[in-house]
Amino acid sequence: MNIIADKNIPYLKGVAEQYGNVTYLDGAAFTHEAIKNADTLIVRTVTHFGEAILKNTNVKLICSATIGYDHIDTDYCDAHGITWKNAPGSNSGSVQQYIVSALITIARKKRFDLKDKTIGIIGVGNVGKKVAKACETLGMRVLQNDPPRKEAENGVNFVDLETIMEEADIITFHTPLTKEGKYKTFHLADQSFFSALKKRPIIINSARGGIVDTSDIKEALKDNLMSGAIIDCWENEPQIDHEYMNLVDIATPHIAGYSADGKANATRMSLESIANFYGLSKDPITAIKEPKPYDAIIDLNNYSDSTNRTYEAILYTYNPLLDFEHLKSSPETFKRLRNEYPLRREYTAYTIRNVSEREGDVLTQLGFNL
């Protein structure tokens, strides 16, 4: 089997070779000519895979090591016998970690208590469910909006978008990017959305850049229709809007899902898709192991009793201000900041010491070890 893989997909080299002849390319180097003799592609979101690149090729399977699939023309693939697979839920724990750290950071900046706030979660799938659970663990009131799930499940625990616009102090998006259909999310947050906000909420987008209309959110920020913004996903990446970046409280280079755990999960899922499709053994996949963090022990006695030691443990695993500083100082390196992202491990990689019963309850619910 001939496999062509994005060279920036981690933990792949040395394992993918168990399944065939592997050629590694930069994401932007996936062209019709480059892939025409490949049987299988392992990709990220850099290139769009539609008729222009896939027509008259040998490609039978596309595995995307990402939770999204808007970079794949699924209709074309389905119509031409090309199987496509993504990695749903692979980085849900990573995005949860990003959101929790971002919430703590902005609460400290703006001097409010998270327990006093209502958060509206738009999109309650693999990621949104974990974010909801974490926010409840932190003592926040949680409103959940997911029209497709509400319709499919006849759910009574979901609220409409208008309720979130009226009651939420913080609104976070966790939907796919869809440009057509009943539940279109492209530019869901537009001028009409922002003008309907009642409590000047903080907006968080760590899903897809196109969910938020860049021009409209800039005007909303300038007009004080919102009290802040945390933005990880951007329209026109990697050429992001610098004015937009300078208007928000935290700006990061689309790395919310970039924990080592999330990356390893996505790579495993891509290889599992190959094994399933071709009827091959999954044994080689067990070789994928995330590196251990530099120091996996968090001693809460290192923090003053006057501080929230639970928050300090969370920020020890990830502090978004470091990524914000790197992006703001050199936004032109957006792509490099993603491709060369440093090791970040999720809560399950850490053990807490000298923890009180109350602290331990919160930290274990988030996934830490005691």
Q: Which residues are catalytic?
A: 208, 237, 254
Task: Give yes or no for a contact between 108 and 101, defined as CB atoms under 8 angstroms apart.
Answer: no
How many other C-beta atoms can be found within 10 angstroms of the C-beta atom of residue 331?
A: 19
Distance between CA atoms of residues 314 and 369, nearest Å: 12
Q: Which two structure tokens, joined as six digits, stand for 361?
A: 């309850």
Task: Give yes or no for a contact between 85 and 59, defined as CB atoms under 8 angstroms apart.
Answer: no
Q: Phi, psi at residue 201, to the nearest 5°?
A: -75, 165
User: Which spans in 111-173 are helix H?
Assistant: 126-137, 147-153, 161-167
Distance between CA atoms of residues 201 and 224, nearest Å: 10
Alpha-carbon dihedral angle through residues 162, 163, 169, 173, given to the nearest 10 degrees: -60
Q: What is the strand order of the sheet 61-64 is part of?
A: 21-25, 2-6, 40-43, 61-64, 83-85
Distance between CA atoms of residues 343 and 365, nearest Å: 23
Side-chain-side CA neighbours of 78 within 13 Å: the count stands at 4
Count of residues for the chain?
Answer: 370
Task: Give yes or no for a contact between 214 and 228, defined as CB atoms under 8 angstroms apart.
Answer: no
Q: Which two structure tokens, joined as six digits, stand for 133?
A: 């659970």
Q: Which two structure tokens, joined as six digits, stand for 180?
A: 């057509």
Question: Between helices 92-110 and 260-278, what is the axis angle to 10°?
Answer: 160
Task: Give yes or no for a contact between 177 and 68, defined as CB atoms under 8 angstroms apart.
Answer: yes
Task: Give yes or no for a contact between 23 and 7, defined as CB atoms under 8 angstroms apart.
Answer: no
Q: Where are the beta strands (DSSP E) in 44-114?
A: 61-64, 83-85
With tokens 């010491």, the residue in question is: 353
Pairing between β-strand 141-145 and β-strand 83-85 as defined by DSSP bridges: unpaired
